[in-house]
Chain A
Amino acid sequence: MRVAYWPGCVSRGFTPELHGSMEAVAPLLGLELVPLDRAACCGAGVIAEHNQELADTLNARTFALAQQVDGAELMMNICSTCQGAQSECQERLDANSAYRARVNATLDDAEPGLRYEKGLTNKNLLWLLVEELGLDALRAKVRRPLTNLRVGPFYGCYIVRPRARLGIDAEHPRDRYLHQVIETLGGTVIDYAGTYKCCGFPIVTMNKTASLRQAGTHLGDATDAEADCLVVPCPLCHLNLDLQQPQAAKVVGRPLAMPVLHLPQLLGLALGLEPKQLGMSKHVVKPTAVIDWSAAVVAAPAPA
């Protein structure tokens, strides 16, 4: 399957292991990634806070570039925040033809011929796994089931709320997909309080204590529920949960050593890649230091 691939900024900046692991795992999933390397930052809600039309126009440009990719069935992102920010802009663009025409006029002015046509499909990797690839097909690709791994799902706000905008309903229980993927890969889903809560990252520069208290609380709750690791489809959550974990531990006053995996890393492990190939040595809380991946987790015999 050929997709117009939007990696986002942070996956190529402070969490390079996310983009790296996505590229490593894509061929195993039968995904051909056509990177949208001409597109700009989605604005992460901050540019929309500054000027809504500016965020809408920058994202309309990204959507238009995605629509120009030959043979791509849809646009795919690997960041909950990109998904949420872009869905918000797309909701406005698709809802009103006069507004869309106005934004398209700006696009044409900036880059003659560029134009967004209503109705782009833009899916996070998580949605694509379940809705396009399918869980049965994914199960068939598992080479090393994560048999003994206890995984806490952490979705990130932007990919679960608002439910209507993100198309979450009985037919598309997108707020259960991370649970389903963990189980499909052979792991055990851990129930803990933080699954749908905020990592705190958006206010890390405004109220660092409150921000880190959020991260620390969720990591602590997952620890109490005896999770081996968390998995996130959002690199911004990863920054607060992993990069800032030692600081968060100080704020909540308890030691924390909870590995946090990016979604493609969890996929890669089950599909037979080595932790190192997936950039897992680049984490602040090294997953390899906490869990013996080679023996405890991924050495279980593959199903017959």
Chain B
Amino acid sequence: MADYTLRVRRFDPEQTSGPYWQEFAVELEPHRSVLDAILTAKEELDGSLGIRCSCRAAICGSCGVRVNGRPALACNTHLRDATDAGPAADGSTATVTVEPMGNMPVLKDLIVDMDAVHWKKIHRVTPWLLNRRPVPEREYVVPHEDMVDVTQTMACIQCGACVSDCLSMEVDPEFVGPAAAAKAYRFVGDPRDAEQRQRLRDLAEDPHGIYDCTHCFMCIDACPKGVAPMSQIMRLRRISGSDHQIVDRNNGERHEEAFTTLVRDYGLLHEAELLPRSYGGNSWFGKFHPAAGLELVDSLPSIARAVARRKVKPTQALRGHRLARRDLDAVHAIFERVEGDARRHELNLYLSGVEEEAPAP
């Protein structure tokens, strides 16, 4: 047995005092879960402590909380892992800090309002299959590999851990968010669904859709099931832009196209071209598009300051940096061979796993 101090951020909606911290001393084996510690405190010390839980086996998705500042399932987190160094060697107790999830309103103590944020966003992406017509008389026959492809997103248990720490949602509460976007891929990737293009158009054109993801990897680390929502958002973007040529109003597709084209043409990133092309279109003429002009005016103070500080020399910035001829040829050859392939090759380690190391001879 070891001693732990459970430090819980509490909130009682019937009091006006606002949130406060309370510490509970609990004695448990280090292999027991943070949820066990919370329930022990609730049973033995304070029955008013609010926590939502059910299965205790990381499948119902009820007990999402923040443990030591990181989103997790309380039932899926061992006490020994919840403290950086485990119980202190000098006999003092280790502290485990538990807070309600973020980005959602707190109802009471560790219980957040999932309906107000998480479920609303899930409903936003039409989370059901829209059949192809005509519906076959018997069951659909679906290629095995296509269904395997969507199993990663099907592993989601709707716990909201990814929503809790989404950094885009923190500054833009309307962002569709990682869980809903992963759910969208669940149907975009399903060959039985008839509305792939419409689903993608909807999420690409929405200013708070797939192009509002800031690529911070928070959701990948947060997910207790390996769904990797951010990776699913990148796949949605890939299919939207490359397979359906959806050019969205948020500059998402143009930015991706311009970035890729500039690296093909220069080998290195040509920043001064990337910005106008992202707004105005992916060609040298992009900068003369009204949208690029507006952005230029908006960015003028930054540009002027960069030039004044000799951070950027105008002639150099406009010319960009470029690899030597022989290296550019190699880069072009790579682009031609990979982009020339009729089928995109993707390796998803969630499905393929990692090869075992060969035993040393």
A49-57, A143-151, A296-304 - interface stretch: A49-57
B238 x A53 contact (CB < 8 A): no
A26 within 8 A of B: no
B333 x A246 contact (CB < 8 A): no
B309 x A41 contact (CB < 8 A): no
Fill in one digit per residue for B32-54: 1 if any A CB lies within 8 Å of its CB, else 0.
Answer: 00000000000000000000000
Q: Which residues of A contact B349 (CB under 8 A)?
A: 91-92, 95
Q: Which residues of A contact B341 (CB under 8 A)?
A: 53
Q: Which residues of A contact B306 (CB under 8 A)?
A: 14, 243, 284
- The complex places the Cα of A254 from the Cα of B290 at a distance, in Å, of 30
- The complex places the Cα of A161 from the Cα of B337 at a distance, in Å, of 31
Q: Which residues of B contact A207 (CB under 8 A)?
A: 172, 207-208, 211-212, 250
A70 within 8 A of B: no
Q: Which of A17, A158, A206 contacts B211 (CB 8 A)?
A: A206
A41 x B268 contact (CB < 8 A): yes
B330 x A203 contact (CB < 8 A): no
B347 x A61 contact (CB < 8 A): no
A58 within 8 A of B: yes
B241: shortest Cβ distance to chain A, in Å? 7
A244 within 8 A of B: yes
- The complex places the Cα of A203 from the Cα of B279 at a distance, in Å, of 13
- Which residues B277-319 have CB closer than 8 A to chain A? 278-279, 298-299, 301-302, 305-306, 309-312, 317
| A95-B349, A200-B171, A244-B302 given; A17·B338 CB < 8 A | no
Provide the main secondary structure of the chain A interface: helix
Q: Which residues of A contact B299 (CB under 8 A)?
A: 247
| A50-B260, A246-B305, A247-B302 given; A15·B311 CB < 8 A | yes
A92 x B347 contact (CB < 8 A): yes
Fill in one digit per residue for A205-236: 1 if any B CB lies within 8 Å of its CB, else 0.
Answer: 11111110110010000000000000000000
- The complex places the Cα of A14 from the Cα of B299 at a distance, in Å, of 14
- The complex places the Cα of A246 from the Cα of B212 at a distance, in Å, of 22
Provide the main secondary structure of the chain B interface: helix
- The complex places the Cα of A14 from the Cα of B352 at a distance, in Å, of 39
- Which residues B53-68 have CB closer than 8 A to chain A? none
| A9-B321, A157-B215, A198-B216 given; A14·B312 CB < 8 A | yes
A275: shortest Cβ distance to chain B, in Å? 13
Q: Given A52-B346, A214-B214, 6 other A-B contacts at CB below 8 A? A: A9-B321, A14-B311, A95-B355, A203-B214, A246-B301, A284-B311
| Partner-A contacts on B (CB < 8 A) | 84-85, 167-168, 170-172, 175, 207-208, 211-218, 220-221, 234, 237-238, 241-242, 250-252, 255-257, 259-260, 263, 267-271, 275, 278-279, 298-299, 301-302, 305-306, 309-312, 317, 320-321, 323-324, 327, 329-331, 333-335, 337-339, 341, 344-347, 349, 352-355
| Partner-B contacts on A (CB < 8 A) | 9-10, 12-17, 38-41, 43-54, 56-58, 61, 84, 91-92, 95-97, 99, 102, 106-107, 109-111, 114, 157-158, 161-163, 170, 197-198, 200, 202-203, 205-211, 213-214, 217, 243-244, 246-247, 281-284, 286
A-B pairs with beta carbons under 8 Å apart, 28 shown: A14-B317, A38-B323, A40-B327, A45-B234, A46-B259, A46-B260, A47-B259, A49-B234, A50-B238, A54-B260, A91-B349, A95-B352, A96-B347, A106-B334, A107-B334, A157-B215, A161-B216, A162-B221, A203-B211, A203-B215, A210-B171, A213-B171, A213-B172, A243-B302, A243-B306, A247-B301, A281-B309, A284-B302
